[in-house]
Structure 1
Amino acid sequence: MSESQQRDLGRALRALRTAAGLTGETVARRASMSAGKLSKIENGKVAPTVTDVDLILTALEVSEAAKGEFLRAARVAVTEATAWRVLRRMGPWKHQQAIRAIEAQATILRLFQGQLIPGLLQPTATSPPEVAERHRHAVTHWRITEVPPLETANWLVKSAEVVRGTWKHPKEASQWLGERLAEQRSHFASQADRDAVRLAGKVAYATETLAWGGDVCLGYYLRRPLFLSIAVVACSPNRTASEQPCPVSYRSQSTAAGPRTIPSRGA
C-alpha cells in the first residue's frame, strides 16, 4: 500500500468515524485495537491490513455495501504493495527490459500532452478597435461557458448559469462533490481513480480544505477524449480573490450569510 493510499484510506476512515459521532477511543475499543494504532491508521502513518479495515468498519457499523467497497479497495492496495515489493526485490531493470521489447515492436509512437486555454491578454489603449472588440467578445463568451479557468478562484467570475449550486456549510458542498464523483466513477479511465477508498479520501480532504476557506479542484480522464474537471470554490470571501462576490446559483437563490461554496463542472 503506497503512502498516498494510506493517507486516503486514513482520511476516509476518520471521516466515517466523525460522521458517526464516535471518538477514537470508542472505535478502537470496539475494533480490539489500541487508540494509538487507530490514530496512526487515520493519519496515514501505518498501513492497515484488510483485517484492520474490516474491524474498524464493523465498529463503525457501516452498511455491508460500503464495507464491501472498502475491503475490495484495501485488498487491491495490499496486492499492489506486494507486487511492488516483488519488483524491487527482482530489480527494476527486468521491467525496463520488458518495456524496451514492447517499444522495439512499436510502429507508431504517440505523445499526448495536456493543453490549457491561455489567458486572455488585456488590450491596451493603443490596441486596434477590432482587437478590443474580439477581447470583449471572448471575455463575455468565456463567462457563460463551462470551460475551466486557469485559476480555480476565477470560477467566481463565471455567470451564475454555469454554477451547479451554493451551500452554506462545507459538509454539504463536499457531499455534493462525492455524489458527482460517484456518478462519474465508472467512466474514469484509470482503475486507480475508481478506487472507492481514494474517492472517499478526496471527499474527506474537500471537507477539511473548505472548512478553512480553501478551494478544491479535481480532474479525471474519462473515455477518450473526454476530461472531467470539477471544482468547489469557497467564497464570502475567497482567499485569493477576495474582491469577487459570491455568485448565486440559478437553482438556489439562497443568500444565507457565512462561508459558502460554489461547485462547477466542465467536461
Structure 2
Amino acid sequence: MHFHGYEWAGDGRLLAKESERRPIESSGFRLSELPPMMTGWWLLRPATQIRGTWHTAADAADWLAKRYEEHTPGGDPWLPIDARRQRALAQLARASDVIWSRWVSDSRWSGHYLIACPNKTWPTIPCPTRRAARPSA
C-alpha cells in the first residue's frame, strides 16, 4: 500500500459544479481539477494531478501537515497541527483516506487529500500511476 497526495485551492463556489466532481460520462470529470465528491475517485483522475506518493504513513502525514500550514495561515485554532498529524497517522495506518480542508476566507477553499492506494472502499479502481505506465494499445 502507498498514499497519493492531492490538493486543490480556489474559489469555493466552484465546488457547486457537481458534474465535474462525479465520474459520469460527458461530465468533464477526468479533466477537472475540482475535488471529487468521493475521496477514492481521486484515483480515477490522471496521474498528473498527484502531488506526491509516499510508502509510509509518516512521510505522507508530514507532507499533509506542511501543505496545510502553507495554505491555512494561522492553522486551525481548534486542533493544533501536531494533534491533527497524529490523527492522520492513525487513519493512514488503517488504510483510510485523510482529508484536511477548510474555508480560508469568505470565498476561498483549501483542500489537501491523502488517498490510500489500493483503496479499500474502491478496490476496483486501479492505481493511477500504474494505469499511466501501461502502453497504449
TM-score scaled to structure 1, two decimals? Answer: 0.39
Q: Which amino acid aligns with 2:84?
A: K
Q: Which amino acid aligns with 1:216?
A: V
Superposed, 1:3-82 pairs within 5 Å as: none
1:215 to 94, 97, 114: 97
The corresponding residue for 2:58 is 171
In structure 2, distance between residues paired with 1:117 and 1:219:
18
CA separation of 1:225 and 1:248: change in aligned 2, threshold 3 A: same
In structure 2, distance between residues paired with 1:121 and 1:173:
26
Question: Which protein has greater RCO, CA pairs closer than 8 Å, 6+ apart?
Answer: 2
Superposed, 1:44-193 pairs within 5 Å as: 116-119=16-19, 120=22, 135-136=25-26, 138=27, 141-186=28-73, 193=76
The corresponding residue for 1:243 is 124
Deviation of the 1:203 alpha carbon: 1.2
Structure with greater strand share of residues: 2
How many aligned positions are there?
Answer: 117
Cα pair 1:187 1:223 within 8 Å, conserved: no
In structure 1, distance between residues paired with 2:48 and 2:74:
26
Gaps of 5+ in 2: 1-12
The corresponding residue for 1:264 is none
Could you tell me the percent identity over the aligned residues?
27
CA separation of 1:121 and 1:199: change in aligned 2, threshold 3 A: closer
In structure 2, distance between residues paired with 1:221 and 1:184:
10
The corresponding residue for 1:66 is none
Cα deviation code 1:203-245 (max 9, x no counterpart): 111111011110111211112311011110001x211111112
CA separation of 1:121 and 1:168: change in aligned 2, threshold 3 A: closer
Deviation of the 1:185 alpha carbon: 2.9
Task: State the superposition RMSD in angstroms.
Answer: 2.8
Cα pair 1:174 1:203 within 8 Å, conserved: yes
Cα deviation code 1:56-90 (max 9, x no counterpart): xxxxxxxxxxxxxxxxxxxxxxxxxxxxxxxxxxx
Cα pair 2:72 2:104 within 8 Å, conserved: no
In structure 2, distance between residues paired with 1:194 and 1:226:
18
Structure with greater helix share of residues: 1
The corresponding residue for 1:50 is none
CA separation of 1:142 and 1:187: change in aligned 2, threshold 3 A: farther
Gaps of 5+ in 1: 1-112, 123-134, 254-267
Larger radius of gyration: 1
The corresponding residue for 2:9 is none
